[in-house]
Chains A and B, each alone.
Chain A
Amino acid sequence: AQSVTQPDIHITVSEGASLELRCNYSYGATPYLFWYVQSPGQGLQLLLKYFSGDTLVQGIKGFEAEFKRSQSSFNLRKPSVHWSDAAEYFCAVGAGTPFGFQKLVFGTGTRLLVSP
């Protein structure tokens, strides 16, 4: 069965410092991978996605993620964190046929705290 692991429940980063959030997935076929961000009281906003091709993908708000098949990972990075990045970040894998219904299987999330 498909699964996603986000090993860090909380991460605290100083404003201006770099960030890396870890995500490992388990999926038998070619994964469709996503990162979503959830600010307090808000819905889920798509940050970026990987379907195929270049393994380094760029997203909104200056985020990027790198797909590493050999490590079954899709880590999220940002070179310089802003206080407004404080939120919960969810990694997800699209499970299902590529042209099918693709339910999302989510990890447990990582809460990012940004210190001054």
Chain B
Amino acid sequence: EPEVTQTPSHQVTQMGQEVILRCVPISNHLYFYWYRQILGQKVEFLVSFYNNEISEKSEIFDDQFSVERPDGSNFTLKIRSTKLEDSAMYFCASRGQSYEQYFGPGTRLTVT
């Protein structure tokens, strides 16, 4: 069964450093998403991406964040200068023509 994969599973970085979180969506999917979950809190939408451009972004997704689909398979989230409050679990999701979003296992980002 096709699944969304994410790497790395855990990333530790120092405040101010850049990080790139990687996702491989399901191959025939067209819509891509990033969500995050701060420990003990709910899952929050960050950004959606379709046809090689951002379709919607939340207030959280400020200028420090960017997304890219550099080739036909990967979907990346970059945080340019990490802050302590960026520590969270980051989930990638994708969907095809139906409405179900399929989530990856997540990347736990720890900013020290």
Contact = CB atoms under 8 A, between A and B. Distances in A.
Q: Do A and B come from one complex?
A: yes
A107 B42 contact: yes
A102 interface: yes
A51 B102 CA distance: 16
Nearest to B106: A43
A106 B103 CA distance: 13
A108 B41 CA distance: 7
B31 interface: yes
A94 B60 CA distance: 19
B95 interface: yes
A43 B31 contact: no
Contact of A103 (B48, B104, B106): B48
19 contacts: A42-B105, A43-B105, A44-B43, A44-B93, A90-B42, A92-B43, A94-B99, A96-B56, A98-B99, A100-B55, A101-B56, A102-B31, A102-B101, A104-B45, A104-B93, A106-B42, A106-B44, A108-B41, A108-B42
Interface of B: 4, 31, 33, 35, 41-45, 48, 50, 55-56, 58, 91, 93, 95, 99-106
- For the complex of A and B, list the 3 residue pairs with the smallest distance between their C-beta atoms, beginning with the closest: A43-B105, A44-B103, A106-B43
Interface of A: 32, 34, 36, 42-46, 49, 51, 90, 92, 94, 96, 98, 100-109
